[in-house]
Amino acid sequence: MSGVLRRQIEKAREIERRIVQGDARICRPAFGAVCKALWPFKTAEELAFRAGCCVRTAGYEISGERDPSAQSIQAVINEIVPKR
């Protein structure tokens, strides 16, 4: 019985990780797609670091549950536009 429970918990954690990292298929707004293209690994962590927010907030913005903040948009723009 504990093996079945352990597999279910692991499956739930994997789903949670996918939501936080922004590669879940719940809803894929353009902002999330751009973030995944810029930072393909640990997308939420990268955005959180660059925007100065928590990882959970970045994950919500990437997945489309929240609109991106001005700081998050600025972080993406800074990554796209070359520095002079």
2 compared with 38, residue with greater pLDDT = 38
**pLDDT given for residue 76 in this prediction:** 93
DSSP label at 54?
A: -
| pTM exceeding the 0.75 threshold for the entire prediction | no
Q: How far apart are the first and last CA of the chain?
A: 61
pLDDT tens-digit series, residues 30-84? 899 999 999 999 999 999 999 999 999 999 899 888 889 999 999 999 999 988 7
Burial class (CB in 10 A: 0-12, 13-18, 19+), 29: middle
Q: Distance between CA 5 and CA 43 in Å, rounded?
A: 29
**pLDDT given for residue 28 in this prediction:** 58
